[in-house]
């Protein structure tokens, strides 16, 4: 497989019904993790992690044993496995969110795992309770696999980028609320408290950060894109010169944006993405006066 093969076409309008359904499915699984893991700073306990085949919760406690839930976007299955050797699961096929929700809970119950979760999606305009959602029922395995291949390749690039930093840094993880893959760097300094922020946002941005990631798009951004932002944003950041040439600052999102299509069609998609990640970080670190000598690997 070449570098270009790992970056398939992903037009939002072609897979948006599947995307909307999958978004809600990942929230159901993510909420199981939320219910079964202790709180970690910046809400890192709720995330899912990329694997070689999809996404995983990683192990969660169930008494003296552990269990994990995996999305397999190669064979298109949901798998639940326990540390005492039991397993269950089902095929990922077109089905309403309400049916997926019921099947997840039934699969867990068959393994002796009983979890109560908040039954309404987060960060989605249509917050129909999972038990009542029969409208979102699409699952196109080809487009899910395309999206997954982009996530897998982006994860590999982010791993290389993350390795350059020796300060506090998040794992490379998937936020099911906003459906984005992200990595976040910290400089160790406290940030001013955000006026009107809820408790989760207040903690997430309690310290100065530079963050970057990948998002399939929705709403006013009708295509997949990579993003990078500073929080709090230092004066002059939005006017900084970053690369590659196709990157731009979005006043609507308060982020630098590099459209996925511009990466996919670049001579080297990997190098185009790395340039975006590195230059947006360097601009933020320079303008905000990060102690780069202590935070970066030589």
DSSP calls for 134-152: -S-----HHHHHHHHHHHH
Percent of the chain with pLDDT over 90: 88
**Per the domain annotation, does 139 fall within a domain?**
no
pTM of the model: 0.96
**Per the domain annotation, does 1 fall within a domain?**
no
- The count of structural domains within the chain is 2
239 and 188 belong to one structural domain: yes
168 and 107 belong to one structural domain: no
pLDDT for the residue numbered 1: 64
Over 80: is that where the pLDDT of 3 sits?
no
Q: Which residue has the higher pLDDT, 1 or 131?
A: 131
165 and 286 belong to one structural domain: yes
How far does Cα 254 stand from its chain's mean position? 18
pLDDT for the residue numbered 220: 87
- Distance (Å, whole) CA 169 – CA 183: 7
Average pLDDT for 42-61 = 95
Which pairing describes strands 49-50 and 173-175: parallel, antiparallel, or unpaired? unpaired
Among candidate residues 18, 27, 219, the one with its CA nearest the CA of residue 130: 27
Percent of the chain with pLDDT over 70: 99
The 10s digit of each residue's pLDDT in 157-213 is 999 999 999 999 999 999 999 999 999 999 999 988 877 777 778 877 889 999 999
Average pLDDT over the chain reads 95
Q: Give backbone dihedrals phi and psi of 136, rounded to 5 degrees, phi first.
A: -90, 105
Q: How far apart are the first and last CA of the chain?
A: 31
* Domain end residue (candidates: 101, 132, 163): 132
230 and 291 belong to one structural domain: yes
Which pairing describes strands 225-231 and 255-259: parallel, antiparallel, or unpaired? antiparallel
117 and 166 belong to one structural domain: no
**Per the domain annotation, does 270 fall within a domain?**
yes
Task: Look at residue 77 and give its three-state secondary structure.
Answer: strand
**Per the domain annotation, does 140 fall within a domain?**
no
Query: Strands, DSSP E only, in the chain?
Result: 49-50, 54-56, 60-62, 65-72, 77-82, 87-91, 173-175, 180-190, 207-215, 225-231, 248-250, 255-259
C-alpha to C-alpha distances, 120 to 75, 161, 177, 284, nearest whole angstrom: 28, 35, 11, 36
The 10s digit of each residue's pLDDT in 62-92 is 999 999 999 999 999 999 999 999 999 999 9
236 and 199 belong to one structural domain: yes
The 10s digit of each residue's pLDDT in 213-242 is 999 998 889 999 999 999 999 999 999 999
> Where in the sequence is the domain holding 62, given as residue range(s)?
9-132
200 and 114 belong to one structural domain: no
**Per the domain annotation, does 95 fall within a domain?**
yes
**Per the domain annotation, does 199 fall within a domain?**
yes
68 and 114 belong to one structural domain: yes
157 and 269 belong to one structural domain: yes
């Amino acid at each position: 497989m070449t570098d270009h093969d790992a970056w398939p076409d992903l037009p939002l309008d072609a897979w948006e019904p599947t995307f909307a359904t999958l978004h809600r499915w990942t929230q159901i699984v993510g909420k199981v993790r939320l219910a079964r893991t202790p709180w970690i700073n910046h809400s890192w306990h709720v995330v899912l992690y990329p694997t070689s085949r999809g996404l995983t919760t990683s192990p969660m406690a169930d008494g003296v044993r552990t269990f994990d839930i995996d999305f397999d976007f190669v064979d298109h299955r949901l798998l639940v496995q326990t540390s005492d050797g039991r397993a269950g699961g089902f095929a990922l096929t077109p089905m309403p969110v309400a049916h997926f929700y019921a099947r997840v809970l039934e699969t867990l119950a068959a393994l002796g795992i009983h979890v109560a979760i908040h039954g309404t999606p987060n960060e989605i305009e249509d917050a129909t309770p999972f038990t009542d959602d029969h409208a979102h029922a699409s699952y196109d395995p080809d487009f899910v696999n395309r999206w997954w291949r982009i996530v897998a390749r982006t994860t590999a690039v982010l791993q290389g980028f993350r390795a350059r930093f020796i300060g506090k840094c998040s794992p490379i993880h998937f936020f099911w609320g906003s459906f984005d893959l992200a990595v976040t760097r910290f400089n160790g300094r406290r940030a001013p408290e955000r006026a009107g922020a809820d408790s989760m946002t207040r903690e997430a941005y309690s310290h100065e950060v530079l963050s970057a990631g990948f998002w399939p798009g929705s709403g006013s951004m009708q295509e997949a894109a990579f993003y990078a932002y500073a929080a709090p944003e230092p004066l002059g950041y939005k006017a900084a010169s970053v690369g590659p040439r196709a990157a731009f600052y979005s006043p609507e999102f308060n982020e630098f944006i590099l459209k996925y299509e511009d990466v996919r069609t670049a001579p080297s998609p990997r190098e185009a993405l790395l340039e975006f990640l590195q230059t947006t970080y360097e601009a933020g670190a320079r303008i905000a006066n990060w102690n780069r000598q202590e935070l970066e690997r030589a």
